[in-house]
């Protein structure tokens, strides 16, 4: 009787782990790029780069680079904000 209970517990736990793995196995991507001044071609540091309508974004580094991770599949509008630029 104890052996059947242990086997049943193992099967249930394995099934639950598989269900959780499938849930977390969704594909997420990333958006990488660089923000530069259109005329001078110099990097723009500390610009805010984010996806419109989402809580995903990044701030550019010293070379103007940014990377937004864990982006779900879809179509987005990328917004770049920096004081002094339109």
User: Mean pLDDT across the stretch 64-84?
Assistant: 94
Question: What whole-number distance in Å separates Cα of residue 12 and Cα of residue 20?
Answer: 12
On whether the CB atoms of residues 54 and 48 are closer than 8 A, the answer is: no
Reported as a pLDDT band with limits 50, 70 and 90, residue 24 is: low
pLDDT at position 22: 45
Residue 30's φ and ψ, nearest 5 degrees, are -140, 155
- Whole-number mean pLDDT of the chain? 80
Tell me if the pTM is above 0.75: no
Given a cut of 60, is residue 40 above it in pLDDT?
yes
> Which residues 6+ apart lie within 8 Å of 3 measured at CB?
none
Residue with tokens 């917004």: 79
DSSP letters of 67-80? EEEEEPSS---EEE
- For residue 1, give every residue at least 6 positions away whose Cβ sits within 8 Å of its Cβ, in sequence order, or none: none
Which whole number is the average pLDDT over 39-43? 94
If pLDDT is split at 50, 70 and 90, which confidence band does 20 have? very low
Compute the average pLDDT of residues 65-85. 94
């Amino acid at each position: 009787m104890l052996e059947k209970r242990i086997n049943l517990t193992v099967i249930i736990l394995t099934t639950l782990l598989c269900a959780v793995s499938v849930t977390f196995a969704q594909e997420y991507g990333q958006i990488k790029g660089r923000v530069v001044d259109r005329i001078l071609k110099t990097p723009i540091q500390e610009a805010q780069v984010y996806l419109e309508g989402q809580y995903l974004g990044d701030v550019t580094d010293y070379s103007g680079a940014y990377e937004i991770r864990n982006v779900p599949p879809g179509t987005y509008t990328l917004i770049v904000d920096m004081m002094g630029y339109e």
